[in-house]
Amino acid sequence: MKGKGLLVLLVVSLVWTVFFAAVDGSLLWDQFRQIRASGFPQTAGIVSRSQVAQHHGSKGSSLHDVEMEYNYSVNGKAFNGDRYRYNTYPSSDSRWAIAIVNEHPVGASVPVFYDPQIPGEALLSPGIDGCDLFNLLFLTPFNLIMVGLWAPVFSVLKDKVRHPVAGGARWTEERQLIRVRLPRYPAAVCGLVVIGFASFISLFPLAFGVGSHPSVPVALLTWAIVLGGGMGVAAWQWLKAMRGDFDLVIRPMERKLELPATFGRKRRRTEPFSTFSGIDVENIVVGEYKGERTYRHGVILLRKDGGTDQLTEWCREERAQSLAEWLRDRIPGVGSPPAR
């Protein structure tokens, strides 16, 4: 990632972050006010207006909300309120709006929660509900994409300050072996990707099954499944890394390599140094847009029989080249590839 590519990524990251940071901030502020309102004192009120409001959405769709007014008094002073919650948004979920209006018919006595510092500030439904949890679930994939956009930018900046050894791969040197950890996908990344996909997919059964205003137990169960799935995958990847499945083990005294169980290798495989003729970095095309190709860069072992064994794959060529050079210095007899 250099020059123009890095600049484009930076601009996209900034635009994406500004937009979704504003959305996140608005949502979290409303949820904070909802939680704060749970501690408000309450008084009796009378509903004076209650109806389902219908709005026209994009492409002719209909969005529904509630319009409500109620009268209440605090310390003998009369007030009129029109807020049901701080964070009601028009949605296609008409069932929720109809149910709320039916629960609050005109003339009904209702508890009104008011701000003791500003008695005219009141609402009928304080606290967190299923819609709040649904909205957080909806934003989760977009926020994870934001993290993914910034990750390579910070990686470039970090490398400018501190040049990583072996391309940043973790390695240890023991008595008669060198162990290099080369997971194809880090455990944390696997967990976050699963959470992103699971949160996106879970929106459909919720939206089409119970609507965008699920009950709190249903919303919490959905979150438990999403987070449990991501944490489970991350834990499984971490356990595999801890037992060495992803380690390249160099045994200089025995002149042997133990290849990690990645990139098509179902299990670890031991090979003598003499099997290989060199170490190279292979540019792998992963996409093309308007003539601009996107690459990933794989560090590969060249076999004397003409085959290859891929060890790892990174977005940044500098890191791949750094690891390849580091490995050449530590695997006697397996140096640079032949000139092309």
Is pLDDT at 4 greater than 80 in this prediction? no
Report the candidate in 34, 42, 31 with the shortest Cα–Cα distance to residue 119.
42
- Give the separation between CA 65 and CA 67, rounded to whole angstroms: 7
Mean pLDDT, residues 55-72: 82
- Provide the residue type at 221 as one letter: L
Pair of tokens at residue 174: 């023991």
Calculate the alpha carbon distances from 170 to 214, 238, 288 in Å: 45, 14, 32
Identify the weakest region by mean pLDDT among 52-66, 263-277, 307-321: 52-66
pLDDT value at residue 340: 54
pLDDT value at residue 59: 65
Identify the weakest region by mean pLDDT among 208-212, 239-243, 302-306, 331-335: 331-335
Residue 190 phi, psi dihedral angles, 5° rounding: -60, -45
- CB under 8 Å to 59, separation ≥6 — which residues? none
Alpha-helical regions (H) of 76-182: 94-103, 130-161
Determine the Cα angle at 126 with ends 213 and 51, to 5°. 60
- Give the separation between CA 324 and CA 180, rounded to whole angstroms: 12
| Per-domain boundaries in the chain | 3-13+132-242, 39-126, 248-330
Report the candidate in 271, 276, 273, 279 with the shortest Cα–Cα distance to residue 298.
279
How far does the chain reach from its first CA to its final CA, in angstroms?
Answer: 24
Tens-digit pLDDT profile for residues 215-242: 999 999 999 999 999 999 999 999 999 9
Q: What is the 3-state secondary structure (H, E, C) of 63-80?
A: EEEEEEEEEEEECCEEEE
pLDDT value at residue 338: 56
- CA 48 from chain centre, in angstroms, equals 44
Residue 30 phi, psi dihedral angles, 5° rounding: -65, -40
- Give the separation between CA 165 and CA 301, rounded to whole angstroms: 19
Instruction: Evaluate whether 159 touches 217 at the Cβ level (below 8 Å).
Output: no
- Give the separation between CA 23 and CA 204, rounded to whole angstroms: 21
For the chain, the average pLDDT equals: 90
pLDDT band, residue 316 (cuts 50/70/90): confident
Q: In this prediction, what percent of the chain has a pLDDT beyond 90? A: 69
Tens-digit pLDDT profile for residues 82-116: 999 998 777 777 888 899 999 999 999 999 999 99
Is pLDDT at 200 greater than 80 in this prediction? yes
Instruction: Evaluate whether 180 touches 170 at the Cβ level (below 8 Å).
Output: yes
Is pLDDT at 45 greater than 90 in this prediction? yes
pLDDT value at residue 315: 84
- Torsion angle (degrees, nearest 10) of CA 276, 278, 283, 286: 20
Q: Give pTM, 2 decimals.
A: 0.85
Report the candidate in 121, 81, 77, 73 with the shortest Cα–Cα distance to residue 104.
81
User: 296 in helix, strand or coil?
Assistant: strand
Mean pLDDT, residues 49-55: 89
pLDDT value at residue 212: 84
Pair of tokens at residue 209: 């099954």
Which DSSP letter does residue 51 get? E
